[in-house]
Structure 1
C-alpha cells in the first residue's frame, strides 16, 4: 500500500534566488541550485578553486594554480549573457551556500564557435552534476546561436573523456600538444 504521508524532501532553501535558475536533483538524491554566475560570486568562485585538489585544478587550468590571482579572477568573472556565459552550481554545506561546480563558455573568435570548460568539486564528482551543468551550457550556447563548441583538455582527464563521450563530443589529439585532446560538439540540431 502506498505511503499516505511521505516524508518531506530535505530541500535546501533557495528562496532568495531570483532570475534564471534551476533546482536539480543529482543521482544520489542531493539537490543543487544552478544559475548564471554573478559578480557577487567572486569570493565564492575563488574559494571553490582553492578547495579543489591539485589534480582537479591542473585538469581545469592545464597548469599549476594554487591561489587564483586578480588577473585570473577578473577573467573568470568576466561574463555576459551571450559571448561569455557561466553557470554555477550551489549547495548548502552546514548552512553556508558553497559553489560545488561551474560550467562556462567563451566565444572563440571563429564564427559561431565557443570554447567550454567545466569543473566539479572533488567531493561532488560522480553524481551527475557535470552532465547537468554541461547540458545547461549547451542549451545556452544554442540559444545564443553558436553552432560549435569545443574543449581543450588533458589527455589524462578521464572525467572529461567520459562526460564528452556521454554527450556525444568527438575527440582528437591536439596538434600543438600531444598531452592534450580537443573535444568538439556540433550544436546544430
Structure 2
C-alpha cells in the first residue's frame, strides 16, 4: 500500500480539517494503550453509542478488542491520524464473523472531533474490503433507533434496515460483492 503507512489497509486520505493523513490499518498488541486512551477521549455520548451503554473500563475494552483480533474471522481496524510524524487513533472498527449465521458483525466509533469528515465511511469501506477478501458474503450491525449518526453512515455505505430490530434497535445488513 503506502511506504509511509506500511500496515495500511486502504490508501491514506488527507483530511483538510485535521491537517494530516488518516491511515486505516489493522490493530496489533502494541495498540492496547493508545486504544484505551482513544476510548477514554470519546465523549460520554459517543462511548454510550459505541458500546450500547456505559462502560467505565476503557483499558479492558481496548485489551478485549485487540485480544479477539487476528485470524480469519476477527479483526480490529484503527483510523490513525499522522501529524508531525506521530500517530493518534481517531477511529476504530471491530469485526467478527459468525460462521453459524454466515455473516460478519461490526461495531465502529470515530472520535468526536473527526465525525462527519469521512473517516467512518473510509473505515467501513476498508472493513468490507477485508471481509470480502476473507470470502464473507454478508455484513450486519445493530444500533439503537436513536443513533441517527450510525443509521446515516450505514445508509451512506449501502446498508439496509432488515426490519429485524425491536422497538429500541435497528438491524442493518449489506450483501458483499466484489
Higher radius of gyration, 1 or 2: 1
Name the structure 2 match of 1:110.
100
CA–CA distance in structure 2, aligned partners of residues 73 and 100 of structure 1:
14
Shift of 1:50: 0.5
TM-score by length of 2: 0.86
Residue from 25, 28, 37 that aligns with 2:14: 25
1:33 Cα offset (Å):
1.6
Question: Could you give the per-residue CA deviations for residues 113-146 of structure 1, whole angstroms, max 9, x where no partner exists?
Answer: 1101111000001110100010000010011011
CA distance in 2 between counterparts of 1:115 and 1:66 reads 23
Task: State the 1:94 CA deviation.
Answer: 7.1
2:100 alignment partner, SS class: coil
Which of 128, 133, 137 does residue 143 from structure 1 map onto? 133
Q: How far off its partner does 1:73 sit?
A: 3.2
Residue 97 of structure 1, CA deviation: 1.9
Show the counterpart of 1:133: 123
In the alignment, the residues of structure 2 paired with residue 109 and residue 37 of structure 1 have an alpha-carbon distance, to the nearest angstrom, of 22
> 2-side partners of 1:74 and 1:163: how far apart?
26
CA shift, 1:32, in A, is 0.7
Task: Determine the C-alpha separation between the residues in 2 that align with 1:136 and 1:52.
Answer: 22
Aligned structure 1 segments of 4 or more residues deviating by more than 6 angstroms: none
Q: Which of 97, 113, 121 does residue 123 from structure 1 map onto?
A: 113
Write the mapping of 1:1-189 to structure 2, written as runs, cut at 5 A. Answer: 15=4, 17-21=5-9, 22-26=11-15, 28=17, 30-70=20-60, 72-77=61-66, 78-92=68-82, 96-175=86-165, 177-189=166-178
Match of 1:10 in 2: none
Q: What is the SS of the residue equivalent to 1:90?
A: strand
- State the alpha-carbon separation in 2 of the partners of residues 130 and 74 from structure 1: 22
The number of residues matched between the two structures is 173
Counterparts of 1:56 and 1:117, CA distance in 2: 12
Whether the 8 Å CA contact 1:112–1:145 is kept in 2: the answer is: no
Q: Which runs of 5+ in 1 are unaligned?
A: 1-13
